[in-house]
Each structure stands twice: as structure tokens, then as C-alpha cells.
Amino acid sequence: MSANPLETIAALEGLGQALRTTRLELDLGSAKPARQARDELAHQIDDYLVPRLRRLDAPLLVVLGGSTGSGKSTITNTIVGREVSPAGVLRPTTRAPVLICHPDDEEWFAGGDVLPDLPRVTGQRGSNPTSVATGTVLRLVTTDTMQPGLALIDAPDIDSVEEANRELATQLLSAADLWLFATTGVRYADAVPWDFLRQARSRGTSLACIVNRIPPGATDEIVTHFGSMLTDAGLTDVTVFPVEQQPVDMTTLPPDAVADIKALLTGLASDADQRSAVVRATLDGAMDSIGPRTRTVIESGVEQNGAVDELRQSVEGTYADTRSRLAADIRSGTLLRGEVLERWQELIGTAELMRAVQSRISLIRDRVGAFLTGRTGQTVEVQGEITSTLEQLLIDHADRAASTTVSAWKSLPGGRQVLAGDRSLQLASEAFRAQVRGEVQAWQDDILELVREQGANKRTTARVLAVGVNSVGIALMLVIFAQTAGLTGAEVAIGAGTAGISQTLLSALFGEQAVRELAAEAQRLLLQRIGTLLDADADRFRSRLSAIAGPDLDTDNGTAVDELVTALDRFERSR
């Protein structure tokens, strides 16, 4: 026991909070047992460890748990000496757990220190609510027939057909100072009870067992066999109470059937030293089990984080590659194929101007200006073809990025779960498709603004106006697209000629250095807009991942698993 209980309590509360914020949502191999360990331990800290450390002298809490049909409610009624818990042949009988205590101890159990997340209702059998707006309730019954210093909970079945009942039974048993574990003469070897009994052993829980409904004459044989099974399981100091078969319609048993059980409980309630020994044994056992149980959660959390990192890196890598390929395609001449090239040739008269390029630079500015006069409609057509071609290029790459990500996720741990069969993720989103044309047109506006800014002085302004701002803007776009690595055959010569004319025209207007700077800035603006679009489309995958795994993996302050490691270290040092 810690020399400073307050420090241990604070460390336990911090550990409970860290457990509750550790998400293990991916269905990996370690997830299921780790979730169970996390939830059970978080409940035990709140329900038992913290309140018990605050009041070591509080009444002893005994939980009567066990298998379906083991007669827990009938045993409870007999121990208490009155019918306080419904008993019958319908299963599950106990839906809302019943806590029975002496009136002198009511304040301790009614205040919510023990099992704080279970709302209390009071009343005898007949006011047995199974649920309220806030969820499962704990029915509190006080009676003078209970010994002061002792409370008894009749818990739901550990193997109930209802999952909520099974979870509640586990929670209640984790809050007990002493387990009274009930089974029957025909079911004592079942697997589920033994899973709980092994938990009791591993956590050092004080334990006694009841074998109910033993056929007449079979008591010695069954108790001996059950005792040997307990010994083999390492439970050598467990008292076994046999109860012979009684008529099935009885709601209580003959008092002498549970006399030994009641004597045990009465003795614990009346003897402070015995009660303290039971409490300390269970408390120390639970505290000793915290490290291994928490490390189970930590190990699973590390596995979860690794899987999430792989999925996230797959997204980031795919979309980074897509941005790089798009940048290469934009520079490679791909966009100079087809209608874009034809419309530009029609607009600018390539053959005539190629001859001009061979003479003097000043001629190209003059001839282009003269040739473009009155051809605004054709300029708009070229811009439209650039928009359509660039738009389709972006959609094709975005579709490929989405499809590649989906394929990669299907091969990675947890990926199929995060995808959840959403076929819309296999292509670029509708939002991407709706926005891409507007972004391309906005980029063209950026180009025109660059041209206007570059031609701000009077002399350059006159030159630009002579040629036409839109036409100069198109020339600048084509310079960005004009590398011929993506062209073949005759397209190379045509593309090279187009590039040369555009470059020469811009150089005649602004100078070679200014053209290099304009092209670099225009390309930067385009890639920036493309990057924003792709990043928003990749957010679909990030959002799916964040929704299932939690957002804290993107912070610089460490993950919930890191916080859990720190909380466990603090607890262990506090002991």
C-alpha cells in the first residue's frame, strides 16, 4: 500500500482517464482482448479502486455472480431473509442489479462513490425498473435483516443472452471486495465460469464458490471434483459451499441450505480484522494486476498506431506522387496535343511566324500584333481548349490517385474496415469534379494578372495591348506546357515551333529574364491550386481514418498511447 494514498488515487484517476481516451477501433488481432482489458480496468478504477482507497473502512461489498440458471436470486433472497430480487424460470431473471444493505450503510452506497455511473433507484421488488432514460440502473434495497458493514449485489448472468447483461455482470464483479461465484451441479465445468475464475486468480480477488442444485446424494462427488479443478487452476484457498436441489418454483431456500454462506458473510461483517484482510487482499491483487492489464492495452495501441500510420502514409505518398506526376505532365508537352495545338496554330499563324523568328525579334511582335487584331473570339476558343484539356488531365490523375489509395488500403491491416465498402472513394469526389474547372479558370485569371503587372510601364503596356492581354496570357501558358518530352513524331516539330513562337513573343515584350520569372510564377500558381484541390480530395481518406482511429495521431504532443504509458508509469511510481 502506498505511503501516500492521495498520490495513488490521483495516479489511478489519471490512468482511468488515459484508458478511456485510448481508442482501439481497428479490428486487428490484438484489439478484442485489449478493448476488454481497457474497459474492465477503467470501470474497476472508478467503481472500486478509487472509492475503496478513499474509505478502507467502508462496508464490505459482496457480489453474487454466476451462470444462467445458477439460482443467484433465490440464494440472495435466502441470505437476506426476504424476497428482494426476482427469481423465476424465465431468463434472464436479473436485469437491473439489486444491491442490498443495512439502513445504516445506505449513505455509502446511495452516494455514487461505488459504481458511480449506475444511477440509483430505491424500492422493493415490484418497483424493479430495467432501464431509465440514463440507461441501466442499480436498485438499492435496505433491510434490517442485513448485517451492518456488509452489502450484497445480485448480478446479471455472466453468460446472459444479452450482451449488456454480460458486460454489467463483469463490471459488478470487478467492483467487489469478495466474489460469491454461483454455478450448478451440472454446469460447474462450463468454460465461461472458468474464464471468470481464472480472472479472479490472476487479480488476487477474494473468492468463494457456491455449487447449487446438486442432485441428492451427489454432493461429495461433485464438491470433490470441483475442488480438484480449482486446485489445478491454482485456486487452492477457495471455500466451496454445496447447495442441494430444491423445487424449481421456490423463490427462497430453506435457511439451513445457505447457513454456511450466511455465517461467512456475517462473520466478515462483524469482524473488522477479517473484513480488512479480505479488502486488502482484493485491493492489492487488483493493484498488482493493473500493470499487465494496461500493457495489454498499450501493446494493442502501438499496433493500432502502426496500422494507422501505414494507412496514412499510403494516402500521403500516393497523393504526393500524383502531384509530382501532374507537374511533370504539365511541363512535358502533353497539353499541346489535339485541339489546344490546332486552335493556337489557327490563332497565331505558325508557318508565317516561324519565318519571322528566323529574321528579327522585333518582327514577331509586330506581326503577331497585326495577325491577332480582331481575333478575340479565337483567343477565347484557345483558352477554352486549354481549360478543358487541363481539367481532364487533373480529373484523370485524381481518379488514379483515389483508385490507387483504395487498392493500397485493401492490402493493409485495417484498411478494408476504414473503407467500409464505400465505392465513391474509388474515384475523385464530386466536389473535386465540380471545383476543378473553376480553379483552372481562376489560374488563367492569375496569368492575365501577371501579364498586366509585368506590363505596368507605358512602353510595355503599349506592346501588350497591341498583341492583346489574353493572347499574351495564352502564350505564357504554352511556354509552361511547351517542353516536348511528351510529344512524338510530327508533334515534336509542331510543339517546338509553338514553344519557340510563344517564347520569342514574350521575350520581345518583356525580355528573357522576365519571361523566365513569369513562367516560374505561373507554374507555381498552377501547382499550388492543383495541390489544394488534391489535398482536399485526399481529405476524404484522412477523415475516414480520423473518424475511426481518432484525431490525436496528427498532433505533435504524442498519442493517447503515449499518455497511457506516462499514466501507468506515474501509477507504478505512486505505489
pLDDT per position as a tens digit, 91-140: 444 467 999 999 999 999 998 889 998 999 986 544 444 443 335 889 99
Answer yes or no: is pLDDT of 400 > 70.
yes
Reported confidence tier of residue 182, pLDDT bands at 50, 70, 90: very high
Q: Average pLDDT of 300-311?
A: 94
Q: What confidence tier does 482 reach under pLDDT thresholds 50, 70, 90? A: low
Helix, strand, coil percentages for the chain (3-state, nearest 5): 65, 10, 25
C-beta separation of 284 from 529 below 8 A:
no
SS (H, E, C) 100-125: EECHHHHHHHHCCCCCCCCCEEECCC
* pLDDT-based confidence at residue 425 (cuts at 50, 70, 90): very high
Binned at pLDDT 50, 70 and 90, residue 303 comes out as: very high
Q: Is 153 exposed, middle or buried (0-12, 13-18, 19+ CB in 10 A)?
A: buried
d(CA 521, CA 527): 10
Looking at residue 459, its pLDDT comes to 53
Side by side, the strands of the sheet bearing 138-142 are 120-122, 138-142, 98-101, 150-154, 60-66, 178-184, 206-214, 239-244
Q: What are the domain boundaries of the chain?
A: 58-269, 332-549
DSSP 275: H
Residue 490 has, within 13 A of its CA and on its CB side, a CA count of 2
Q: How far is CA 42 from the centre of its chain?
A: 18
Looking at residue 112, what is its pLDDT? 81
Mean pLDDT of 455-477: 58
Quick one: average pLDDT of 182-198? 91
The CB density around residue 369, as the number of other CB atoms within 10 Å, is 18
pLDDT tops 80 at residue 252: yes
- Alpha-carbon distance of 568 to 291, in angstroms, equals 7
Q: Write down the pLDDT at residue 353.
A: 43
Q: Does residue 176 surpass a pLDDT of 90?
A: yes
- What per-residue confidence (pLDDT) applies to 487? 37
Beta bridge partners of 154: 64, 98
**CA 363 from centre of chain:** 67
Give CA–CA dist 514/506, Å, rounded: 9
CB 102 within 8 A of CB 150: yes
Distance (Å, whole) CA 502 – CA 34 = 65
Range scoring the smallest mean pLDDT among 96-100, 255-259, 363-367, 479-483: 363-367
Average pLDDT for 518-542: 92
User: pLDDT tens digit string along 383-393?
Assistant: 667 778 888 88
Residue type, 442: A
Q: Distance between CA 108 and CA 367 in Å, rounded?
A: 99
Q: What is the mean pLDDT of residues 465-473?
A: 57
Write down the residue that cell numbers 424465465 correspond to: 90
Fold category of 58-269 in CATH:
Rossmann fold (3.40.50)
pTM above 0.95, yes or no: no
